[in-house]
Amino acid sequence: MLTSSRRVSLTAILLVVILVTTSFGTLLAQGEAPKVLNVVKFELCPKFDNVTVNVVGDAGHNLKPYQFWADDFAKMGIKVNVIEVPFEGVYEKEKTEFVAGTGAFDVVTFYPSYIGDFAGNGYLLPLDDYIKREPAAVWDPHQDDVLPPFRELYNKFGGKTYALTIDGDIHIFIYRKDLFENKDEQAAYKAKYGADLKPPETWDDYLKVGAFFTRKKGDKLAGETLTDDFFGSAEFAKRGFSYAWFMDRAASAGVNYFDENMKPTINSKEAVAALQNMVDSLKNAPPDVLGYGYDELRDAFIKGKVAMVVQWSDVPKKAADPNDSKIVGKVSVGRLPGTKVGDTVVHRSMMPVGRVVAVAADSKVPDAAYCVAKHVAYNRSLEQVSTSLTGLDPYRQIHLEHPEAYAPLMGEDNAKAYLAGLKLALPDGYPDIFIPGAAQYQDSLDLHVNKALAGQETPQAALDAVAKEWDAITDKQGRDKQVKLWQQALASYKALGLMK
Amino acid sequence: MADKLAFRPRTIRFSIASSVERRYRTTAVLFVLPALVLLLAITIYPLIRTLSLTVMAQELTVSPDAEYVGLQNFQKVLADGRFWNAMQNTSFLVVVGVAIQLVAGTGLALLLSEIGRSRSVWVSLFLIPVMIAPVVAGFQFRVILNDSFGPLNYLIKWVSGGLISPPAWLADPKTALFSIMLTDLWQWTPFMLLIVLAGLQSISVELLEAAEVDGASYWQTFWRIKIPILLPVIIIGILIRLMDTFKTFDLVYLLTGGGPGSSTETIAYYTYLNGFKFFSMGYTAAMAFVQLVVIILVSRAFLAIQNRQQKVG
């Protein structure tokens, strides 16, 4: 039986232990933050009265900014509570809360293809009045600096601004420059194909170069004996976003999702050829490529297993990080391969995913929520896109004009080459489907692309099935309404030069 | 109370007894009421609400309004090739998976029943997978089955001296569904083991000794005595695992996302997509009800076998 003094001592010790471990845990959880660059000029919002702002987003490195800038939020009298949802589950988690009207979120992070659904159904607050508020240094996120596709497609619906971009996703071509520049490899390629070894200009070249670099353990690569199998290329071939890697090929061949009257054109002969190219490319990929999502595809490249990939534009940042990458300093970026149309090679780069932040229409603290959203979308945006601590990609002109922000990560020359590669890719941008029902159209295309990749359907059968399902989805959504929205979307895509 | 009542006139006694009974009844109802309300709120009401949705078309991506469409949703479900593919995948997991769990669980239970004192230690160790959250088990097998750095393929290559090239378990349409089944087997075979072991321990020792004295072999004892006695318990175990496996969603979500292609898309996963990704509420409700009917029919079949067994016994 413990005496009362012993009980008091034990309780005190226990409390101290709990306090220390909690603080230590908190310190650990905070982690490092990128260095403040002071390039983007702004002022913080006037101090709120200790309000809590609930922020929802896909779990992982892209929610780290809310940790990085905790002090900034504290100065604004705002406590940010971050709610993580799975990457593939963003739509259903947020839509469920909106439909149920729970008011669980103040700031919502979502993929911009959902803006038609969320803004169109009144779940989001229009931000135009906030943007025009004075003083501009506090409230204006300088939307004119956001690159047009990331502003017009990602942020607007029905002529109003509902969201602010925080991640400008676009596909770029990333490759091992050390292999392409190796003299022995160049000579061998020339001997085999009678052409110079260079980053592939077309998707047919992509297959050739991929086959060339696919080697077995024990073979030579760039003068060194391989200790494991090496592969020419890899794809995002897992269910979820494999359709985007197909559309990189199809869009460059002139394929569009629908014609002007929403008749699906996704099963044209050009589209079938594009899907066949993607199926053929799997011969040059690791044997488990059908299980490759973002993480696996990124790791296959930065761990030195694959010679070239098409990926989101944050992967070169990861490739430059010596904590994760085995190929630091060996990476270059460029335009995606294209398709010869007439005498020209047309290049297109899908813009899948992306991220925007918006204020929920039923938020009880809309002013504070807007301040949080604007802080991550503008005030600290350069720090966020230039660090390997996040997967956020450049989307503003100012992000492309400051290679010194990226230099500590990848070196000055590589930083300039990275930004030059981005500037080449951005005009090739090809949009995802943005009209209501986007999740259904995408799922149907992704399922059948994946079935073709898995050998369960031929490319023709797969895309015919997509066309049939898309018609059914359009009817379910209301054909007349969808046609009108699609025509508006087409007009804006053409005005932005994203579709010809 | 009875003594006190004995000295009163009959009508008064009856009146007092009724009043007491009413009070007891009211108290009993008040105690049961919270549980009943909860049951109504979380089971009966959603069931009725879902049933009403099965005859409505409600696309929440378009509008919250619902339109009466009769049996159209059921017709669409039965004509949906993706639904039947999902049912096929689920049937594989249910039939093959539960059969393996039964055989392996029974085998392990027989072995453990022969062990003396240390049995409880072994049972505790075997039960560890059951105590792990399915999400954790899923992540664990995602690592184990990884082609590049997973220990399973590393072991296979090491043991075979590099002669065997193991498959990419989760990335090969031929092995992906089996890989999901493997994860489920690892986690839930111990549950079957526990059910059968409990049944084995309830068998009278005298019965087994009498059989031994009569010259019955081990297998004769097993098939003629143990199995008939265990059958009711085994049927309940099968039924529970059947209903659980039919609902397989978490492993599919974590390991494969329904792929490669549609090779691991189960009925629960497809229902989830329709309900929570496409927000086609009427269609999802119809699909859920078709599944409910299937489960009820299968359960009735098993319970009928059990009833027949009990009558014969």
CATH code for the structural domain at A171-350+410-500: 3.40.190.10
By CA distance, what is A114's nearest residue in B? B61
For chain A, report the end-to-end CA distance as a whole number of angstroms. 84
Q: What are phi and psi of A244, to 5 degrees?
A: -70, -35
User: What is the Cα–Cα distance from A206 to A211, expressed in whole angstroms?
Assistant: 8
Q: Does the distance separating the beta carbons of A456 and B171 come in below 8 Å?
A: no
* Residue B83, min C-alpha distance to chain A (Å): 14
Per the DSSP assignment, residues forming a β-bridge with A225 are A220
* Residue A229, min C-alpha distance to chain B (Å): 11
DSSP A411: -
> For residue A379, how many other CB atoms are within 10 A of its CB?
21
Please give the pLDDT value at position A26.
Answer: 45
CB < 8 Å to A451, chain B = 261-262
By CA distance, what is B174's nearest residue in A? A454
CB < 8 Å to A453, chain B = 260-261
Q: What are phi and psi of A383, to 5 degrees?
A: -60, -40
Return the residue matching tokens 């691991």: B264
Q: Which of B146, B173, B279 sits opposite A454 (nearest CB)?
A: B173
In contact, A476 and B278? CB cutoff 8 Å:
no
Q: Does the distance separating the beta carbons of A457 and B276 come in below 8 Å?
A: no
In contact, A80 and A73? CB cutoff 8 Å:
yes
Q: Does the distance separating the beta carbons of B260 and A290 come in below 8 Å?
A: yes
Using the Cβ of B162 and the Cβ atoms of chain A, whether some distance falls under 8 Å is answered with: no
CB < 8 Å to B261, chain A = 447, 450-451, 453-457
Q: Does the distance separating the beta carbons of B262 and A478 come in below 8 Å?
A: no
Q: Which of A96, A240, A456 sits opposite B257 (nearest CB)?
A: A240
By CA distance, what is B150's nearest residue in A? A288
Identify the contact set of chain A against chain B, taking CB-CB distances under 8 A: 88, 91-92, 95-96, 99, 117, 121, 237-240, 286-292, 300, 305, 436-437, 439-440, 443, 447, 450-451, 453-457, 476-478, 481
pTM of the model: 0.85
Q: Does the distance separating the beta carbons of A454 and B259 come in below 8 Å?
A: yes
Using the Cβ of B139 and the Cβ atoms of chain A, whether some distance falls under 8 Å is answered with: no
Q: Which long-range contacts (CB under 8 A, 24 or more apart) does A131-134 make?
A: A131/A161
Instruction: Label residue B162 left, alpha or beta by phi (over 0 means left) and psi (-120 to 50 means alpha).
Output: left
pLDDT digits (tens, 9 = 90+) for A239-271: 989 999 999 999 999 999 999 999 999 999 999
Per the DSSP assignment, residues forming a β-bridge with A81 are A54
Q: Does the distance separating the beta carbons of A456 and B263 come in below 8 Å?
A: yes
Please give the pLDDT value at position A13.
Answer: 64
User: What is the Cα–Cα distance from B223 to B155, expressed in whole angstroms?
Assistant: 38
Per the DSSP assignment, residues forming a β-bridge with A78 are A51
List C-alpha distances in Å: A149 to A335, A347, A489, B189.
18, 17, 12, 53
Q: Look up residue A360 and give its two tokens.
A: 């929920």
Please give the pLDDT value at position B21.
Answer: 87
Region A447-467: mean pLDDT is 97
User: What is the Cα–Cα distance from B249 to B311, expressed in whole angstroms?
Assistant: 38
Please give the pLDDT value at position A28.
Answer: 42
Run of H or E residues at A81: strand A78-85
User: What is the Cα–Cα distance from B150 to B173, expressed in whole angstroms?
Assistant: 18
By CA distance, what is B147's nearest residue in A? A288
Q: Which of A240, A289, A451 sits opposite B262 (nearest CB)?
A: A451
> For residue A202, how many other CB atoms are within 10 A of its CB?
18
Angle made by CA atoms A223, A225, A226, in degrees to the nearest 5? 120
User: What is the Cα–Cα distance from B280 to B121, expressed in whole angstroms?
Assistant: 50
Instruction: Tell me how many residue pairs between chain A and chain B have CB atoms under 8 A apart.
Output: 104
User: What is the Cα–Cα distance from A386 to A316, expressed in whole angstroms?
Assistant: 11
Please give the pLDDT value at position B15.
Answer: 63
CB < 8 Å to B262, chain A = 447, 450-451, 456
Beta-sheet strand order (sheet of A51-58):
A78-85, A51-58, A107-110, A355-359, A163-167
In contact, A55 and A107? CB cutoff 8 Å:
yes
Please give the pLDDT value at position A25.
Answer: 44
Q: Which of B170, B257, B278 sits opposite A439 (nearest CB)?
A: B278
Q: Look up residue A497 and give its two tokens.
A: 């030069």
Run of H or E residues at A464: helix A459-477
Q: How many CA atoms lie within 13 A of B209 on its CB side?
A: 3
* Residue B262, min C-alpha distance to chain A (Å): 7
Q: Do domains A51-168+353-401 and A171-350+410-500 have the same CATH topology?
A: yes
Q: Does the distance separating the beta carbons of B61 and A117 come in below 8 Å?
A: yes
CB < 8 Å to A300, chain B = 148
Region A228-247: mean pLDDT is 96
pLDDT digits (tens, 9 = 90+) for A321-366: 999 999 999 999 999 999 999 999 999 999 988 999 999 999 999 9
Please give the pLDDT value at position B37.
Answer: 92
Angle made by CA atoms A361, A364, A366, in degrees to the nearest 5? 65
CB < 8 Å to A450, chain B = 259-262
Q: How many CA atoms lie within 13 A of A336 on its CB side?
A: 33
CATH superfamily of A51-168+353-401: Periplasmic binding protein-like II (3.40.190.10)
Look up residue A446 and give its amino acid. Answer: D
DSSP collapsed to 3 states, chain B: CHHHHHCCCHHHHHHHHHHHHHHHHHHHHHHHHHHHHHHHHHHHHHHHHHHHHCCEECECCCCCCCEECCCHHHHHHHHCHHHHHHHHHHHHHHHHHHHHHHHHHHHHHHHHHHCCCCHHHHHHHHCHHHHCCHHHHHHHHHHHCCCCCCHHHHHHHHHCCCCCCCCCCCCCCCCHHHHHHHHHHHHHHHHHHHHHHHHHHCCCHHHHHHHHHCCCCHHHHHHHHHHHHHHHHHHHHHHHHHHHHHCCCHHHHHHCCCCCCCCCCCHHHHHHHHHHHCCEHHHHHHHHHHHHHHHHHHHHHHHHHHHHHHHHC
Please give the pLDDT value at position A3.
Answer: 63
Residue of B49, B53, B62 best to disrupt the A interface, most CBs of A under 10 A: B62
Percent share of chain A, pLDDT over 90: 78
User: What is the Cα–Cα distance from B32 to B157, expressed in whole angstroms?
Assistant: 61
Q: Does the distance separating the beta carbons of A457 and B61 come in below 8 Å?
A: no
User: What is the Cα–Cα distance from B261 to A260, expressed in whole angstroms?
Assistant: 30
Residue of A96, A288, A481, A482 best to disrupt the B interface, most CBs of B under 10 A: A288
Please give the pLDDT value at position A104.
Answer: 94
Using the Cβ of B129 and the Cβ atoms of chain A, whether some distance falls under 8 Å is answered with: no
Q: What is the mean pLDDT of chain A?
A: 92
Residue of A289, A303, A440, A464 best to disrupt the B interface, most CBs of B under 10 A: A440
Residue of B56, B61, B180 best to disrupt the A interface, most CBs of A under 10 A: B61
- In the predicted model, is pLDDT for residue B51 greater than 90? yes
Q: Where are the domains of chain A?
A: 51-168+353-401, 171-350+410-500
Return the residue matching tokens 């029943």: B113
pLDDT digits (tens, 9 = 90+) for B146-201: 988 899 999 999 999 989 989 999 999 999 999 999 999 999 999 999 999 999 98
By CA distance, what is B262's nearest residue in A? A451
CB < 8 Å to B76, chain A = none
Region B270-292: mean pLDDT is 94
pLDDT digits (tens, 9 = 90+) for B239-276: 999 999 999 999 999 999 999 999 999 999 999 999 98
In this predicted complex, what is the ipTM?
A: 0.81
B193 Cα distance to chain centroid: 15
Using the Cβ of B85 and the Cβ atoms of chain A, whether some distance falls under 8 Å is answered with: no
Using the Cβ of B260 and the Cβ atoms of chain A, whether some distance falls under 8 Å is answered with: yes
By CA distance, what is B63's nearest residue in A? A121
pLDDT digits (tens, 9 = 90+) for A61-118: 999 999 999 999 999 999 999 999 988 789 889 998 998 899 999 999 999 988 888 9
Please give the pLDDT value at position A19.
Answer: 53
Q: Which of A287, A300, A451 sits opposite B168 (nearest CB)?
A: A287
b/e per residue, B38-51, with b = 16+ CB within 10 A? eeeeeeeeeeeebe
Region B300-313: mean pLDDT is 80
